[in-house]
Amino acid sequence: MTATPPGATMCAAMRAANLHAPGDLRAEMVPRPRPQADEALIRIEASGICGSDVDRVLTKGTYHFPTIPGHEFAGAVVECPADKTRIGQRVCVFPLIACRRCPMCEIGEYASCADYDYYGSRRDGGFAQFQAVKLDNLVPVGDDIAVEDAAMVEPCAVAVHALAAAPLRLGDRLAVWGAGPIGLMAAQLGAAQGARVAIFDVDDRKLELARRAGFGDTFNPRRGDPAAQLRATGDARGADVCLEASGAAAALAGALAAVRPFGHIILMGNPVGDMTLPRDAYWTILRRQVTCVGVWNSARNHFTDDWRTAIEAIRAGQVTPSRFITHRFDLTECAQAFAVAADPAQLSLKIMFTPSEEPNEGRSLDSTGNA
């Protein structure tokens, strides 16, 4: 046992998945954060791996090292210096910390903040047993929402935000490109609005999951022309709204082929490479007078709250986020979890960390980080 150096301070320890460099994610004991006056300490009960986390952890890295990744997480308040009544409250976390000073923040468009902070990339995030979170970033959820659904409010809010970017009317054809978690949640939300949903993906295993979720019109664009595939369902004009949720250039070209004249394309997927278009696809935008709109993150302000909309949709059963969890891991298995996420041979939609090990309240770290 390591002796405590003279004058060292003791602090409680917690387990975390700590990123020391791209590709170097370690399950280790780290000091438990102490909430400041404007923060609450959250005991994290579930934390999801986003596709952007895979890039950050394995190749891209975070903004400093070490960093605890993870921006999709939920749990319960265990400490709150400013408001003891919040202890025990179940919450999820809006991960973007806006500067509240720039022109975009002045109008509540925090996702476009010029000088933002972010849990899981610019500061420590949710792949841990505890995290200190700004009070403004706590989003209360009721006891009637399962914790894994609460942890997926963040991607669900992204889907809500995307669908709000184009007019979607009762009976419209919504074509979703990319059957990942956000694409499938957007499909569920669109169906709840009365749209007829078609889902495109190049992975037949994902299409099978989509069919199990109740979507009958599922297509692999590698097996036929997307416009022809839609016409075979009776949509002679094409899709009213196409949601590109994969970040692949081929998917964008397919969406352009399938969209109707004066239709809408929502660009949401994080690009996996350069987004290039054939000349004929570009001509489609011009000749069909298509509206293309980009969306980013989600909105949460006094006027538009995609998070509250997402929570209410989950509560009403219109969207079922936890249905798309394919794997669960403990924090001690973080390297294995990311190996699965990066392996195309394994079907993984949402991978969830569910910390099962109770924090050891009696174990402490000294000021050097030794147990």
Assign residue 206 the CATH number of its domain: 3.40.50.720
Domain boundary among 294, 310, 338: 294
Instruction: Tell me if 159 is assigned to some domain.
Output: no
Instruction: Tell me if 146 is assigned to some domain.
Output: yes
SS (H, E, C) the chain: CCCCCCCCCCEEEEEEEEEEECCEEEEEEEECCCCCCCEEEEEEEEEEECHHHHHHHHHHCCCCCCECCCCEEEEEEEECCCCHHHCCCEEEECCEECCCCCHHHHCCCHHHCCCCEEECCCECCCCECEEEEEHHHEEECCCCCCHHHHHCHHHHHHHHHHHCCCCCCCCCEEEEECCCHHHHHHHHHHHHCCCEEEEECCCHHHHHHHHHCCCCEEECHHHCCHHHHHHCCCCCCCEEEEEECCCCHHHHHHHHHHEEEEEEEEECCCCCCCCCCCHHHHHHHHHCCCEEEECCCCCECCCCEHHHHHHHHHHCCCCCHHHHEEEEECHHHHHHHHHHHHCCCCCCCEEEECCCCCCCCCCEECCCCCC
The parts of the chain modelled with pLDDT lower than 50 are: 1-10, 359-371
The rounded distance, in Å, linking the Cα atoms of 243 and 266 is: 5
Domain boundary among 294, 311, 337: 294
The answer on 139 and 16 residing in a single domain is: yes
pLDDT tens per residue across span 24-73:
999 999 999 999 999 999 999 999 999 999 999 999 999 999 999 999 99
Instruction: Tell me if 305 is assigned to some domain.
Output: no
CB–CB of 156/185 below 8 Å?
yes
Instruction: Tell me if 313 is assigned to some domain.
Output: no
Domain boundary among 276, 294, 312: 294
| Number of domains comprising the chain | 2
The answer on 185 and 289 residing in a single domain is: yes
The answer on 189 and 150 residing in a single domain is: no
The answer on 268 and 220 residing in a single domain is: yes
The rounded distance, in Å, linking the Cα atoms of 344 and 366 is: 42
Instruction: Tell me if 300 is assigned to some domain.
Output: no
The amino acid at 69: P
The answer on 215 and 269 residing in a single domain is: yes
Best CA proximity match to 46, nearest among 307, 356, 318, 358: 356
The answer on 141 and 174 residing in a single domain is: no
The rounded distance, in Å, linking the Cα atoms of 159 and 139 is: 17
The answer on 196 and 138 residing in a single domain is: no
CB–CB of 60/338 below 8 Å?
no
Cis bond upstream, residue 66 (ω within 30): yes
pLDDT of residue 369: 45
Instruction: Tell me if 310 is assigned to some domain.
Output: no
pLDDT of residue 305: 97
Assign residue 107 the CATH number of its domain: 3.90.180.10
The answer on 192 and 138 residing in a single domain is: no
The answer on 247 and 185 residing in a single domain is: yes
Instruction: Tell me if 242 is assigned to some domain.
Output: yes
pLDDT of residue 357: 53
pLDDT of residue 91: 98
The answer on 179 and 53 residing in a single domain is: no
The answer on 269 and 193 residing in a single domain is: yes
Domain that holds residue 289: 166-294
Instruction: Tell me if 288 is assigned to some domain.
Output: yes
The answer on 145 and 25 residing in a single domain is: yes
Best CA proximity match to 53, nearest among 352, 311, 295, 296: 352
